[in-house]
Structure 1
Amino acid sequence: MRWIFLALAVWGTIHPMAYFLQWFGENGYDLMGMVGAWHANAASSGLVWDLTIAAIALTVWIAAEVVKRRMWLGLIAIPATFCIGVSCGLPLYLYLRARPGGQGGI
């Protein structure tokens, strides 16, 4: 399972990043413009909030598990979640949790 999680983390980095880089190429490195594009209509705003809430829930879970299990390496999934996306952060954390010595039960 852990290699599947790693593959999903890589895919979850590359696939969305390709779209972000395309957008930056067409519009310049305007983060506020990108946020505005995310809220272009009600459907995309709903998706943004869905992912934001999922990212916060994942962060709370990671933080709680890191404190409980003392698996400090898992903390790298938090910036991965907010800088890349839930599509990277969640499988990355599951990969780290499932690794030998990760004290995971997966």
Structure 2
Amino acid sequence: MSFMRWIYLGLAIWGAVHPMYYFMSYLAANDWSLGALIDAWYVNDSTTGLTWDLTIAAITLTIWIIAEVAVRRNWSALFAIPATYCIGVSCGLPLYLYLRSRPID
């Protein structure tokens, strides 16, 4: 495996674990209320702007993944879409780059 693939994989793992720590900490402190977590994303203009920034990035990444999968037939790259929406762009993007950079058969 190439050096860059290791970097992408490491970033995907970091992008899954680090943000999830904060999500789980918040949920544990707020009776596991998903509604409270979503409300916190819109508590002020700063968090609302960041939420929209990440939402637009997630949509853009999804369109890119689908477009490239249609051409390259790299079906495993589709795993990056649920990673993006269930964990975040910080996991989905490096995971996609990791899956995309595998040697083509």
> What is the TM-score normalised by the length of structure 1?
0.93
Q: CA RMSD in A?
A: 0.9
Question: Mean alpha-carbon deviation: is it higher for 5-14 or for 26-35?
Answer: 26-35
Shift of 1:31: 1.4
Counterpart of 2:58 in structure 1 is 55
The answer for unaligned runs of 5 or more in structure 2 is none
Match status 1:97 vs 2:97: no
Shift of 1:20: 0.5
SS at match of 1:100: coil
Shift of 1:29: 2.0
Counterpart of 1:32 in structure 2 is 35
Question: Mean alpha-carbon deviation: is it higher for 87-96 or for 31-40?
Answer: 31-40
The answer for unaligned runs of 5 or more in structure 1 is none
Which runs of 4 or more aligned residues in structure 1 lie more than 2 Å from their structure 2 counterparts after TM superposition? none
* Matched residues, number: 102
